[in-house]
Amino acid sequence: MSQLRQFIGRSEAKPPFFVGIDLGGTTVKVGVVDDAGRPLCWHNVPTEVGRGPADASERMGQAVLKAIADAGLALADVAGVGLGSPGTLDFHAGVMITPTNFPGWGGFPLRDTVGRHCALPVSLANDASAAAYGEFWVGSGRGYRSLVMLTLGTGVGCGIIIGDLILEGENGHGTECGHIIVDCAPDARLCSCGQTGHLESYASANGVIARARDALGAGRPSSLHQRLAEGAPLTPLLVAQEAEAGDKLAMEIVLKTGWYLALGIVTLMHTIDPTGVLLGGAMTFGMKQTDLGRLFLDHVRREVKRRTFPMLAERTLIDFASLGADAGFIGAAGIARVDHFKSRRPQGPNAQAALTETRSTRAV
């Protein structure tokens, strides 16, 4: 369970207030946080991708208004909304670009349509960046000056925060770090993007399943054979369970995942030189709550230390994220907060032009 699901009451909260939307392929999570990043409430609504972006935008706007009412607030109490969305984004236009898992949503004015339905300014951000900002603001990265967060799930997402800058890149690809190349061999694994040798091909849930399937198909002995014969689906959870039970192949797969992650992390450390690197998402092998999770983290740290400069190995913090599934909506709300306060800065002779570029995600 997320650490921040203990809501605060209206009387304890510090205004202004912000709403965060975490848009997923199955559900949309919407929550209200105060100026200190503490949630007052949250709820889920179904995404229903097939009904199209116009329908979803209307329901997201309604969900924002419901969350505000549930928190005991008026619309005027809320300074802005943050929308964390998957896929490649055009931040200036506020749209998704050819979203693989959201057919028919590409080019739709998602940010501005949600804003019209809730009558509030909306800031659009990549979902992995939003999760990273949540951890940076009030999670494991609180107090860091800069942060890289890798989100391990079906793919490998990434968010990079430097100061109050959410790194996005000129074309919305600034943090596609799941596509760092970790294997240059001609027979490197095929990534879902169509290229080969990417970190996501090896260290995502799909990568773990593919490596396990190949090892079993090659006749490697493992208790996984029996579990699959009994009808269990091949998942990272099954691999983790058998690793915890002492299966050598399953443990090898888990630790090799950490090995590939370390390769990607070292590249990011040598590029960003962040205060810390956090690992989050659904595939973290129980995190620090399990022996396997602790072993996985220690293995990542050791492999990073072997490959990076001594000073970086000593000073760069590598840890698990702590907000769990709440990171997305809290971080999205935090990004709206950044935009809100940037827009309120005193203006000098040249300030108006600068304000239009404070963050490309700021709704107009």
pLDDT by residue (tens digit) across 22-39? Answer: 999 999 999 999 999 999
Give start and end residues of each alpha helix (H) in 10-166: 53-70, 110-118, 127-138
Fold of the domain spanning 140-321: Nucleotidyltransferase; domain 5 (3.30.420)
pLDDT of residue 5: 62
Q: Which residues contact 167 (CB under 8 A, 6 or more apart)?
A: 129, 159, 160, 161, 174, 175
pLDDT of residue 172: 77
pLDDT at 183 over 60: yes
> By the 8 A CB rule, do 61 and 116 touch?
yes
Q: How far apart are CA 190 and CA 195, in angstroms?
A: 6
For 256-313, how does the pLDDT look when each residue is reduced to its tens digit (9 = 90+)? 999 999 999 999 999 999 999 999 999 999 999 999 999 999 999 999 999 999 999 9
For the chain, residues classed under CATH 3.30.420.40 are 17-127+325-355, 140-321
Mean local confidence (pLDDT), 171-176? 84
pLDDT of residue 169: 85
End-to-end CA distance of the chain: 36
The SS3 call for residue 201 is helix
In the chain, the percentage of residues whose pLDDT exceeds 70 is 93
* Residue with the two structure tokens 């996985």: 296
CATH of 17-127+325-355, one of 3.40.50.300, 3.30.420.40, 3.20.20.140, 3.90.550.10: 3.30.420.40
Which of 60-64, 162-166, 236-240, 248-252 shows the lowest mean pLDDT across its residues?
162-166
Task: Find the length of the chain.
Answer: 364
Tokens of 181: 């190349």
Tokens of 163: 């100061």
Average pLDDT, the chain: 92
Residue 55: CB atoms within 10 Å: 12
pLDDT at 65 over 90: yes
Mean local confidence (pLDDT), 174-200? 95
Q: How is residue 156 annotated by DSSP?
A: E
| Centroid of chain to Cα 284 | 13
* Residue with the two structure tokens 């100026």: 35
pLDDT of residue 343: 82
Give the model's confidence band at 3: pLDDT under 50 very low, under 70 low, under 90 confident, else very high.
Answer: very low
**Which strand (E) or helix (H) includes residue 334?**
helix 327-343
In the chain, the percentage of residues whose pLDDT exceeds 90 is 87
Give the model's confidence band at 98: pLDDT under 50 very low, under 70 low, under 90 confident, else very high.
Answer: confident
* Amino acid at residue number 313: A
Q: How far apart are CA 147 and CA 179, in angstroms?
A: 18
Mean local confidence (pLDDT), 127-150? 97
pLDDT of residue 347: 56
pLDDT at 126 over 50: yes
**Which strand (E) or helix (H) includes residue 266?**
helix 248-272
> By the 8 A CB rule, do 22 and 4 touch?
no
Q: How far apart are CA 128 and CA 150, in angstroms?
A: 8
Give the model's confidence band at 350: pLDDT under 50 very low, under 70 low, under 90 confident, else very high.
Answer: low
pLDDT of residue 345: 67
